[in-house]
Every structure is written in C-alpha cells, then in structure tokens.
Amino acid sequence: MGIYDFHKNCFPVFFAGKFFFALTGAFVMEIQKDYLRYAVELSKELLQIHSPGGYTVNAIDRLKKEFDSLGIKYTETNKGAIYGTIEGKNTEKHRVVSAHADTLGAMVRQIKPSGCLKLAPIGGIAFNSIEGETLYIITRTGKIITGTGLPEKASVHIFENIEKEERNGETFEVRLDADTSSKEETLKLGINVGDFVAFEPRTVETPEGYIKSRHLDDKACIGMMFAVCKYLKEKNEKPAYTTHFFISNYEEIGHGFYGIPKECFEVLAVDIGTVGGLQNSDEHAVTIIAKDSRTPYDFGFRHRLEELAIKNGINYRTDVMFRYGSDSSMYVLQGFDINFACAGPGVSATHHYERTHLDAFKATIDLIYAYTMEELKCF
C-alpha cells in the first residue's frame, strides 16, 4: 500500500473516552494524584544516576528492576538497550514507544602537565553550560573523583577581559578535587585518557511545579513512559497493539534505536520539545514535532497524535525543530521501513540547565496513554 493510501484508509477510532473524557475522567484524575507523582519521582531518581552516552549500565540496571517490579518482561539487546513488552489486543502488529537513558557527558581527552584535564564532548554540549559545575570522573575501576569545570583563565584577579575568552574544548579544563599538580600525580589517582565524565544534575522541584535539572533530556521522558506502563499493568488494561517500551542508550550520539521485533510498524520517540527563541513549544504542554533538522515526521502519524490531543483535551503544541534529531528520525534515516513520530514535554534551556513543568509531565503521559490505546481501522 502506498503512503497516500495508508493515510487515506487508516485513522483513529479510539478516543479514550472511558478514561479521558470529558476531560475529568478517572484516568486523568488518577494520573494527577498518583501516576504523575510516580513519573516525577522515578525521573528524579534516574537523574542522580550518571549515564553519559557510552556509560549507561547503571541507569539501565535500575530500569530493569523497574520493569521487574511492574511485572513486565524485558529484552536486552547486544548493545545494552532494553525494551519491556506489554501484550496488546492485536498481537500480530506491534508498536514501539521509546525514550533514552543516555545523557550528555564528556570523556577525558588529555591529562595536562598541570594535572588538570581536557575533555572531549559526548553529545551536543556547550562548554560554557558546565562552567563552574561539579564534574564526576569515572575511572576504569569505577572509582569516582570530582572536579570543577573551568576556563583556563578563570580568575579576574589574574587575567584581563576573561569574559571575552572563548569557552571551547581548547580553553576549558577540569580542576580536580585532589592533590595533584602534574600529569604523573593525576595518573596515580587512577585517572586515564578515555575515562567518562558526568555532570552534576542539580535537580530541583519548586513549589510552583517546575522541575529543573540537567538531563531532563531524556530522563524525564523515561519517567513519563513508565507511568503509562505502571497504569496499564495496575489497571489490567491492554494497549491496542502489543507495545514495546524501548530504553535506548546511544541517542545523544545518534545510534540509540535498533534491534526491535520485525512485527513493529511504527515508533513514537518520546523526547523533549525545545522552548525559547522562535520555537512554539511550551513548558506547560506536550510538544508534537512536525520536523527536525534531518526530516519531516510522517504527516499522517503526526496528525493522529494532534487529533488524540484535541479529542482528549491535552494541552499540546506542534513545533518545528532547528538543531534536533530523535531516535525515531535517526532510525528511518538508516533505511528501516517503519512509520515514525516524536513528542514530549516542552523544556526550557535544552542541553543546558533545563526546566519543565508538571503540566508538561501530565500532558505527555496523557498523550502516550491515548496513543497506546488508539486503534487503526486498516488493521
């Protein structure tokens, strides 16, 4: 069937009236009181687990335990990702909902003669975003040594015009919280080139309902996805199609999503919307992405998500991303035959000290749930 025919003949026939309508149904209220708090607390816990891209084993292990606690069987890929599977009413066609456990980070690139470190970025970081921040160097043996990210010319008492100095990989260094003033002394600490470096998340929940932290991209989305898993299991609800909840581990680098069952016909990547500048996203809404910097998302799939949001009273924004990619768009760019979309909470100051609101948590949870319950007439 051609793309045009698929969109012409497939449309949502389930509008989740039992749980969403009329905007104050049981599911929405329970999400507000119970599952929303679960999503936030799981997200906050995950934010404290260091998981820069390439070093996600501890976060993945924590999520294995969460799948186990919910009674959801999971599969582990050769490359270390996992996906939990909930059987649907239709078991012949499968869907995927994905979020990623890997975050921005860095790797030790050089030990300087002074004993300080130069870094190579993991993912799209701006070095000024971690200036003055506590950093965690994870040695090969698992020992963690702290340090501070600083420009080489940091002191206003010593250097002139330091506010005009560029912040990049050549001018940025890590001052270790250890007695070292030479390369040899740093090596004796157990630090080597190739060690992973994680950033202090500084997670805060404000009385006004804001969550601010590094790495809300994408650990907040994992909490939201698991809230839907928890609801489905505890309420003994079956999604419309067998659904795999995929935790990817290399998204920030561009090869996070892979190894899914051949029965999967579409994937919804749950990832952040970008708030600020010319963007249309909002911290109080779920963003449905129409296009990222690599490709438009499927027209029909995106409109189905928008229709689900409209029918269920979910606060949403459609947006076009500037510098952005997701697990689902990267997957199709590899040539795989699957339909694809992306949606997630509006987040301010992405890839910096990020912030979102409980309203965006709730809206995203509601949309993920509505999507998992949506049936397509053509199947």
Q: What amino acid positions are annotated as catalytic residues? A: 251
In one-letter notation, the amino acid at residue 184 is E
Tell me the C-alpha distance between 175 and 10, whole Å: 58
Tell me the C-alpha distance between 16 and 234, whole Å: 17
Query: Which of 8, 12, 41, 31 lies closest to 223 in space, CA to CA?
Result: 41
- 263 vs 45, 95, 228, 241, 373, CA distance in Å? 33, 8, 22, 10, 18
For residue 227, say if its preceding peptide bond is cis, omega within 30 degrees of 0.
no
Query: Which of 117, 116, 114 lies closest to 182 in space, CA to CA?
Result: 114
Residue 377 CB-density burial (10 A; 0-12 exposed, 13-18 middle, 19+ buried)? exposed
Are 378 and 24 in contact by the 8 Å Cβ rule? The answer is: no
Residue 254: Cβ within 10 Å count: 15
Are 85 and 73 in contact by the 8 Å Cβ rule? The answer is: yes
* Residue 1 CA to its chain's centroid (Å): 33
Report the binding-site residues for Zn(2+).
100, 217, 252, 271
* Residue 107 CA to its chain's centroid (Å): 20
DSSP assignments along 283-312, one per residue: TTSEEEEEE-SS-BPPHHHHHHHHHHHHHT
Give residue for tokens 């599952």.
Answer: 35
Query: Which of 370, 65, 83, 374 lies closest to 245 in space, CA to CA?
Result: 83
Give residue for tokens 């599969």.
Answer: 75
Give residue for tokens 């409109």.
Answer: 303
In one-letter notation, the amino acid at residue 293 is S
Report the binding-site residues.
100, 217, 252, 271
